Every structure is written in C-alpha cells, then in structure tokens.
Amino acid sequence: MQYSLLSTLLLALLSLSRASFNAGCSNHKPRTIVVDQSGHGQFTKVQQAIDSVPTMNSVWTHILVKSGIYKEKVIVPSDKPCIVLEGSSASKTIIEWGDAIEVVKSATFTVYAENFKAKNIMFKNTYNENTRPGDKYPIKQAPAFQVTSDKVSFYRCRFISVQDTLSDLQGRHYFRSCYIEGAIDFIWGYGQSVYQGCLINATTGILGRAGYITAQGRDRATDSGGYVFNRCIVVGTGPVYLGRAYGAYSRVVFYKTSLSNVVKPQGWSSWHYPGQESKITYVEAGCTGPGADMSGRVKWEKTLSNEELQSLADANSFVNQDGWLQKQPF
C-alpha cells in the first residue's frame, strides 16, 4: 500500500459512508427478487436487482442469485439498506471483475448500506489471478469486496484475490464459515469484525517472499476497531505474517485458531510504526498447530487478561452489542 495516498482517499470515503441512511429494517411483507442468467428471474444481473430496491428502503429484501458466473462490478449505495444477498453456493454463484486502478474504487463488490447480509456467494477480483513468481509486472491492490458500513454479515462466502482481497474498512461485521484467500494485506482496513470458523488461505507462494494476512488500521486507543479470528484455520503456500500495523493502535486477535507452518516465527510487523509497538495490540491465545509456536515471536506481542480476551473473542460483546445479528432474517 502507498500509505499516505491511501490514507487521504480513505478519510474521504469514510466521511461519506458515515452519512449513510440509518434506519431499522422491517420483516413485514419482505420482498424476494430472483437473479438468473438464463432469464428465469426478474433480472439477469446482480446490479439490476440492487438498483430495483427502493431508495430509503426499510423492508428486508431477499435477493436470490442463481448459479452462474456474474461478470460485473456491483455497488450497494448507502440509501439501499436491508438487503440479504444469497447464492446457491459459494462454488456455483460467483461475482467477479478485474479492476485495480485505485484500491477504494476497485472492489468487485462494494457495500455502503447498513444492514446487509450475504450468504453462499464467491466474490472474486481476477486482476492478479495469473501472477507468477518473478513476473515483470507487480501485483496491484485489487479487492474482491469492500464494506464501509455497519451491521454487515457474511455466511459461507468466499473472497478471492491476491492483494487487499477484503477491504474491511468501517463498521461492525461478522464473518461465519467463510473462505478468504490472498497474499498481501488481504484483510485490511479500520473495521470492527469477528471472523468465526473461517479458513484463511495465504497464497504467498506466488510472491517469492513473505506476505501479510492483516493490515488493521486502528488509529486511536479509543477506537473500537479491530479484527478477531475465533477458531479459524490458517493455511498457505508460502511464508506469511499474521499482520502488520496499518494504524498506530492496530488491533488483531487470533483466538483458538489452527496455525500451519507457513506462519513466520516473528508473527507480526510494526511496519509504519517502529518504536511505537507499545500502542499495538497483537494477541494470540489458545492457538494450535506448528505455526503457533511462540518462541520466536516479536517481544512486543500483547498478553491480555481473560476478561479482556473474552470481551474481544465473544461476538456478542465485540460486534453484536445491540443484537443486530439476530434481527437479520433468512
């Protein structure tokens, strides 16, 4: 990442997203929309279905996307909340595009709206997919998904790219049984998120060097952001760090997670903040596997009290304080 340029772009983007429409979602007479490439639904494109949702929507709208590869770039604007997007399975319903111009504008799928839920879909950015070690042209930032809003959840979804795969930028998010693939900073941003039972695949073999799973950007000690990986599995094709600091108070927790031998012995990097490591909160607790050997870890990795650890590891206390997850239907 080009840190100074991205920071400027993100500040503008986050300011815009804070002005998003905010209202509750009603289960009274929920709508269902079918997207089918064969023409057996209301629409053949996912963006067409999103566009059909009324402005200032307040009724849960279920968009069913039939099997197929949907080659399109999709945006859910802030004035279209209360959407559940569901595919047939993450191996059969695929939304893909190949863009890498500017990281905050290049995602295959972008959500600005609150109260969004995705199930059983693959989101893919194909820009770097043919990269091989030693290639002349460098890998570029090419997100598969970008989320900048609150109360967003994902179930059994797949996110595939190489660099900046998942732009987890702002708001509270919950990922359950998802698959996330990438090599460089492939889960990054300022979000406040729990990854529960997810498979993290570091495809760093294409780099010929070590990569990074997370680049979390918490800027102040009072910020609520951070990434928590609860009972996940980390595998890969080459060496990888668990994370590097994208903000001075970056916060990432791996809890009861299986770490394969691709994890670098040092575990973490302070990146832009050498000498400020005391502000960073990087934690491993109850992890297993050959990559969980702590003997070579950076000396500044934190140890939290059991109370502090549980407040982060428990989705209800960290991201679901007002019970929004239970209110999402389908």
Domain holding 179: CATH number? 2.160.20.10
Provide the annotated active-site residues.
164, 185
Q: What is the per-residue pLDDT for 19?
A: 46
Q: What is the mean pLDDT of residues 151-170?
A: 98
Residue 288 confidence (pLDDT) above 80: yes
* Position 16 in a domain: no
Q: What CA–CA distance (Å, rounded) separates 106 from 110?
A: 9
SS3 28: strand
SS3 12: helix
Whether the CB-CB separation of 112 and 145 falls below 8 Å is answered with no
* Position 206 in a domain: yes
pLDDT in tens, 31-82: 999 999 999 999 999 999 999 999 999 999 999 999 999 999 999 999 999 9
* Position 23 in a domain: no
* Residue located via tokens 């990434």: 227
* Position 1 in a domain: no
Residue 36: C-alpha distances to residues 49, 86, 159, 161, 326 (Å): 10, 12, 21, 25, 29
Q: What is the per-residue pLDDT for 13?
A: 54
Q: What is the per-residue pLDDT for 23?
A: 58
* Position 210 in a domain: yes
Centroid of chain to Cα 294:
26
The alpha carbon torsion through 51, 32, 67, 176 (nearest 10 deg) reads 90
Centroid of chain to Cα 84:
17
Number of domains in the chain: 1
Centroid of chain to Cα 165:
8
* Position 147 in a domain: yes
* Position 30 in a domain: no
| Structural domain containing residue 157 | 66-76+84-128+138-321
What percent of the chain has a predicted confidence (pLDDT) above 70?
92
Q: How confident is the model at residue 9 (pLDDT cuts 50, 70, 90)?
A: low
Q: Kindly write down the DSSP assignment for every residue of 179-196, as one continuous string.
A: EEEESEEEEEES-EEEEE
Q: How confident is the model at residue 130 (pLDDT cuts 50, 70, 90)?
A: confident
Q: What is the per-residue pLDDT for 20?
A: 47
* Position 225 in a domain: yes
Taking the CA atoms of 7, 238, 94 and 62 in sequence, report the sign of the dihedral they define: negative
Cβ neighbour number for residue 88 with a 10 Å cutoff:
14
- Using alpha carbons, select from 113, 99, 106, 137 the residue that is nearest to residue 53: 113
Q: What is the mean pLDDT of residues 228-246?
A: 98
Instruction: Give the pTM.
Output: 0.94
